Amino acid sequence: MGGRPIRKQADLDQWLLGSTSVADLEFSDTDRTIIESCFVSPLVIRSRARSAMFHIRRAWDIREVDPEMAAFRAITAEEESVTAIFKSVQRRNYTGAKRLRPYDHVQKSALAPFLVAVENALAAALPGQNVSLETYPGKPKTALRLKILGIGPDGRTGWWYPVPPLNFTMGVDGKPHNFEEELQVVRNSTNTRSILDHVRDLANRRNRIIYASDLGIPQWDGNIDGFIRGKKAQVMRNLTILLFIDQSRERQQFVQQVMDAFLSMLPRLPAKP
More confident residue, 60 or 151: 60
Q: Residue by residue, what is the 3-state secondary structure of 32-99?
A: HHHHHHHCCCCHHHHHHHHHHHHHHHHHHHHCCCCHHHHHHHHHHHHHHHHHHHHHHHHHCCCCCHHH
The pTM of the full predicted model, rounded to 2 decimals, is 0.85
- List phi, psi (to 5°) of 44: -60, -25
First to last CA, the chain: 27
User: What mean pLDDT do residues 34-47 have?
Assistant: 90
Residue 128 CA to residue 118 CA, distance in Å, equals 14
CA 7 to CA 13: how far, in whole Å?
A: 10
Q: Which helix (H) or strand (E) holds 132?
A: strand 131-136
**Burial, 36: exposed, middle or buried (Cβ in 10 Å; 0-12, 13-18, 19+)?**
middle
Residue 72 pLDDT more than 80? Answer: yes
More confident residue, 127 or 180: 180
Distance CA 108, CA 86 (A): 9
C-alpha to C-alpha distance for 13 and 190, rounded to whole angstroms: 36
Highest averaged pLDDT of the listed ranges 76-85, 144-153, 168-177, 207-216 = 76-85
Classify 95 in phi/psi space as left (phi over 0), alpha (psi -120 to 50) or beta: beta
